[in-house]
Every structure is written in C-alpha cells, then in structure tokens.
Structure 1
C-alpha cells in the first residue's frame, strides 16, 4: 500500500471534496455547496486539509482559525481507507497549523448520533464539554 500525502485544498478541488463528503462524511452542513467551500478557501486558503493517495481523495478536515479559537469540521476518511492513520495524520496537521497560528485549544463539531465519529474523536483525546450547548441560527 502506498503512502498518502497531505495538502491544503485549492479551488480545483471543490467538486471532488463535495462528492467525497457525500460518500464519506456523516450528515450535511448548510455550507456544503460549491459557494460555501469557495468562500472558505478564499477566506483561509490553508483551512481545508486533504489526504490523498495516487491522486485519490482519502480524507479531509477543516482546520478553521478565527483569530480566537481553533475549530475542526468535516473530519472524514473514506470508509475503505479507515484505520490506516489518515484521520490521525489530518488531525496532527490541523493541530500543527493551530499551534503555528497561536491557537490554544481546538474544538470539534461532532453529531450526537455519529457513534463512529464520537469514538474517533475520543481516541484523538477530545471529550464533550457537558456545560456547553451549541446554539445556531441560519442567516438566510
């Protein structure tokens, strides 16, 4: 099995990323469209990290930094490529990015019903903070 490479996504990757998320990610987001990903890349070109092997997309994570907090979204690994260290490598790259930017703590959005995701995040050293509840309001 060949190794995989990590890199930041570019605008040419948007369609492949959206197709990948439809197959490998749990749930959908209001921003899971071409315009949403394009805005992310325009605002922070290094935020969307990809893992690839021989040109095939195997994993993603969004490592967003707003100048105050470090946010992780869309950690996903293609089902047949799981348990090969790809998710861990993506998280290590995200943590390194955050440290270089001066971040102090990372948080992750994890769907309550996503048992596989919750297991993966716990294995990576993350835990829920029971005193917090995320409140949202769509802007459109």
Structure 2
C-alpha cells in the first residue's frame, strides 16, 4: 500500500509546495499557513515538518514539534487520492519515533472538532480526545489571513 513512499524532512525550497498541498489536502487553514509562517518553522526547527514523498510529489505532511516539554502534532494531511493507504500512520510513526528519541512522553494533536475523517485517523493511530482540556488562544500579531 505504501510502496514508494518515503518519509523525510521538508526542505526550505519546498515551502510553496507545502502551502499548495495544504490548500488542497488539509482541512481548515492555520494562521501560520503562509510563506513567513512555514519559513519560521523550518528556520526554528528544521526537522519538524515531515513530508510523505512519492516520486518527488508531496502526498502527506505532519508537523512534529518538540518544545522540550511536550510533543505537539499539527497539519497531518494526506492527499485525497492517497488516503487509506497507511501514509498518515507512517508520518505519525516517524514523528513518534523522533519524540521518543528526544525524551518525549506524550504526543498531543490539534484536531478540528468537526473533522470526522481526521477523528477516525487519529483514533486508528491510538490517540484519544481528552474532554477535560480546552484550547485557549490569543492572537499575538495582526495577520493578513482569516483563521
């Protein structure tokens, strides 16, 4: 099913390709889904953005951020034509492997409440919603895009 898929670190020169991929394959849009946002991510943590590569084409992504305290997962997305083939699982396994290597103890994921397809994928990967937590946010800078 996952023949030919390679999980690798995104390259700085691929930022526009990643943004184009997210616009097509990811649910919702993040405040950081722009050139400066992804560039800052790669500059700050060059290993955080993982891509599933099939013959030079990005068919999946996940951001695996480690802040020294927690293991955060964002922007898990798989190209619609390649879903249900184990690509999300491969991405998460690589992210989790890295987290364990760093000393991480628990991964957490930001998942849209109304994205039922994502809920299924996360549950299948062994993650569970914790109903006793809520995400609290505050915009720190003016953004050019809507959340």
Please give the TM-score of this superposition, normalised by the length of structure 2.
0.93
| Alignment-derived partner of residue 34 in structure 2 | 33
Q: Report the aligned-residue RMSD.
A: 0.9
Q: How far apart are the structure 1 equivalents of 2:11 and 2:63?
A: 13
SS at match of 1:74: strand
Structure 1 runs of 4+ off > 2 angstroms?
Answer: none
Structure 1 residue 130 corresponds to structure 2 residue 134? no
What do the CA deviations read for 1:90-128 (whole angstroms, capped 9, x no partner)?
000000010011100000000001000011101111111
- Which residue pairs with 2:145 in the alignment? none
Unaligned 5+ residue runs, structure 2? 142-147
Alpha-carbon distance, 1:32 to partner: 0.3
Deviation at 1:26, TM superposition (A): 0.2
What is the alpha-carbon distance in structure 1 between the residues aligned to residue 24 and residue 64 of structure 2? 20
User: Secondary structure, in 3 states, of the residue corresponding to 1:7?
Assistant: strand
**Match of residue 21 from structure 1:** 22
- Quote the Cα distance in structure 2 between the aligned partners of 1:86 and 1:51: 7
CA-CA distance at 1:3 after TM superposition: 1.3
**Aligned-pair distance for 1:86?**
0.6
1:26-74 deviation digits (Å, cap 9, x = unpaired): 0000000000000000110000000011111100000000000000000
Measured after TM superposition, the shift of residue 10 of structure 1 is 1.4
Task: Return the alpha-carbon distance in structure 1 between the equivalents of residues 40 and 59 of structure 2.
Answer: 23
After superposition, residues 1-140 of structure 1 pair within 5 angstroms as: 2-140=3-141
Q: TM-score, normalised by structure 1?
A: 0.98
- Compute the displacement of 1:13 (Å): 0.8
Bigger relative contact order, structure 1 or 2 (CA pairs below 8 A, ≥6 apart): 2
